[in-house]
Every structure is written in structure tokens, then in C-alpha cells.
Chains A and B, each alone.
Chain A
Amino acid sequence: MDWLAAILTQILHLALVLAAAPLVVGGIRWLKARMQGRIGASPLQPLRDFLKLLRKRPLLAENASWISQAAPHAGATLALAALVLVPSFARGMALAPLADLVVIAGLLAAGRVALALAGMDVGTAFGGLGASREMSFAALAEPALLLVALVLAMLAGSTGLETVGALFQEGSLGLRVSLGLALVALLAVAVAENARIPVDNPATHLELTMVHEAMILEASGRHLALWEAASALRLTLWLALVAAIFFPFGTAPAGFALLGWVVGVAAWVAKMALLCLALAAFESAIAKMRVFRVPEFLGAALLLGLLAALLLFLSTRLA
């Protein structure tokens, strides 16, 4: 029966995250608008945009190659595949054995490369600019992420999300300074990876500062739809990741547990909503930073990760 439960939870999870993805993006936009005193578009607007864009025939530059057409598919595929692996409301999903933090980082990196290559395909100045910045920032974000993984691996003995989540849910760890530092580092990486304020502004097309948007300037029609979808999926993924690692409360255990699932879904929705709210508040309160300040921001995240690992050594030694 367990395998049935595993498959069921996996399918439920898929449906849940697919439904959540547009809502997360739309919800954050709506919340931000509200906080800034505007009415704002409906949280469902991203979904509508997606469906509309999907129906449009894309316009490609004359010298665009197959990369321009394949990359959006690859980007969306990689984002969705990664998201499928991050547990949401229950553990023991069918694909849980695959859910390794390093693998997820790899999938995200692959998505990033697809996006950067698409940006460079036509050979316009902006695409190259965005690609170069995106890849450079990742160079600092990735070590920070790996250090967070190191902290988790030291505690849980594995980088598998399933193991990590289970450990945190038991609560035997207690509150640790190093975990707090790791959380901050992970959040900083998440902000950078999703091109949010203060690293990037998803709502601007100001050429001097944009990173993510610069790469998809050339995309249109269904390609743009796929890129937007990929970006939404990635944002959902990061929020879900933070929730799954640091706030695993209420997650249903593996196996058949209908009630647990209901509780788990409710808890997950609440956690995601809270995270969206926090993100919207954060973005409203803070200004976009200059592009060349970003390395300092990410460097700080890297240092936090480093510090977290070192503190953990000390605490294990003292304990």
C-alpha cells in the first residue's frame, strides 16, 4: 500500500504546486500593491497571462537558432522537475529518494544555463549582459547554498531532503544559532536566484540594472509563457524548499494518512502564504541595490553559511 500512497501523494503534490505557482507570483504582486497603497491586479493574473501568451505565435529573430526554441522548454522542464522533488505536505512521495539538495541545485543550475544560452542566442547586447550577470551572481550563490547543505548534512547525515525534513520535524535539534545563520543565508540565495528585490527587480525593464528580464527580452508568445512559468515555478520551489527544511511542521508522515494529508496541505498553504507575505513586505521595505553591490550581498550570504558551519563545529565540540 505504501507505494500507492507514495504515488498518490506525489500526484497530489504535483497538482498542489502547479496550482500554487501562479498564485504565489500573483499573490506576492497583489500583496505588494496593497502594501504600497495600490489596488493591484488579481492574484490570478499570472495564470491568465500564461494562457494568453500560450496562444500567441512567437516572433523570433532571423538569426535565432533552435536554442531559442528549445531553451524555454528546457527551463520550464527543469524548474518543474526540481519542484516535483521538493516535499510539500507529506513525506514519502514516490520521487522522494531523488530529492537531494545537491541534485536540486544542479537542476536549478541547468535551468540557469538554459536561460543564459537563450539570452545569448540572438546576439543582442542585453541578452549577453543579462547572461553574464546571471552566471556571475550564481558563482557566489552556489557556494552559499552548498554551505547551507553542509550544515544540514552535518546535522542530518545526508543531503536528502526527506532525511533533513524528518530530522527537523522531530525537533530534537532545538534552536541553534548556526541554523538561524543558515536560514538567513538560504533566504539570501533564494532572493538572488529568483531575481527579486534587492538583487533584481522583476518588474523593471531598466537596462542598467536588469538581469533576469534582460535574457528573455527576445522571447515572445509561448516561449515567453514558458519562461514566465519557469520563473514562477522556481519561486514556488524556493519558498517550498525553505518551508520543507526549516519549517517542516505539520507535514504528514509517509504512508496512508488522509487526515494527516489534509492537515499537511493546510499547514503548507499557510506556510507558503506567510512566506509570500514576508517576501512582499521585505520587497516593499527595501530598495533595489546597484548591480555591482550584489556580489557583496551574496558574499555576505556566503560568509553567513561559513559562519554557520563553523559555529556548528564549535557547538558539536562543546556538547
Chain B
Amino acid sequence: MTFGSTGYDIAHLLGGGILLLSFVLLYQRRLEGVIGAFAIQGGLLAAAAAWQGWMQDEPGLYVTALLAFGAKALLIPLALRLLLRRLGLHRTVEPALGIGPSLLAASALVGLSVMVVLPVTAGQAQALTRENLALALSVVLLGMLMMIGRRNAISQVIGLLSLENGLILAAIGVRGMPLVVELSTAALVLMLALVAGIVVFLLRDQLATLDTDVLHGHQGERHQGERHQGERHQGEGP
């Protein structure tokens, strides 16, 4: 199965699509759009998993596909939409990093991941694995970039979840990955979402915002007497 065969092309296409959606996630300004793009990414991931399952003849991957579809394409986006409606949030994202710079950075990251993965895996026979890995690494890095570039708690959670998509993409690309990993990845996603939901609720309760920069002001050991402390330290010997 090398470059040019159908199986490879479809897998490649699905992986590329997932990466493309990562770019879309970075590009989107509106929260609803972000959630939508995330749902599509989840769907593509499920498709990729199913395709790999068929190609590798690995029934376990169908389970993964099912889980990914259920959780990432349906459940979590729905829950997020509900959350948006319940909380009556501002619908636009407050980016900490401008859209343009973040897209530029994203391109550079994709370049980096290709440069890292391709020479490293040169010994590997399977071209698909190499390509898949490069794509997955790009998705992971872009997910992190999204977490950094957004100040809204929900965007940050989506960034984290999209990062997990990259993980699953990597996992399904490797032949014979034990089921435990895939299952636990899916479970992880659910648990992450659950914990994030709890914390987001607490956040909303206490601070009436989801802008995480506001949180910064509430860091412990911060509010009182920073300058005073500086003076106290002066002139004290070791």
C-alpha cells in the first residue's frame, strides 16, 4: 500500500481533511462556527478510523470510529451548543493571538512536523504511517496553538479536544495498536469534557465570565502588597 493506491489516497485525503479543519478552527471567529468545525473534524476522524479499520482488517477500529463519531461529532458539540445557549455567551471569540499571525504560525508548525517526522521515520516501510504521523503531529500542534491563541474557556477546551483528535489520528494510523489505547483515548475525551464542563460551570458561577484572562487576576498570592514585599526583601543577607 503505497502512494497511488486507492486505500492510501482515501486515508491521506481524510487525514488532510482533519488537518484542514484544524486550520478552520483557528480561522473561525464565532463560537458556533468553531463548534461546527469541531464536529466536522470529529466526523472525519470517525471516517478515517473506519477506513483504517477496513484496510487493516481490524474490527477494533470500528469501535473507535463509533466512539469518535458518537462523542466528537455528536455528543460534545451538542453539549457545547446547549451550554452556549444556557449561558447566553458572547458568540464571538476573543482571540489572544490575531487570526493572521496564528495562521502563519500554524503553517510553520505544519512545516516543522513534516520536517521532524519524515526523516525520522525514513526507515519505516509504510508510507501511510509516515504521512499519517506527520498529519497527526500537525493536528496536535495546531490544537495547542488554538489553546494558546484563544482566551475563551470553551475555545480552549475545543483546542484540547482537537488536539486529542490528532492523537487518535496517530493511533489509528499505526498497525495493530492495542485496543486499550484507543478505548482509553475515547474515554479520555469524555472525561476531559466532563471535567472541563464542571470547571466551566464553576467558573461561570463564580466569575460570571468565561474569559480566562480574568482568571489570571485571581491567581492566589497575588492581590496584596507586591511592592511591599519587594521592599521587605531588600537588604536582607543570605
Direct chain A–B contact by Cβ atoms under 8 Å: no
Residues of A whose CB lies within 8 Å of any CB of B are: none
On B, residues with C-beta under 8 Å from A are: none
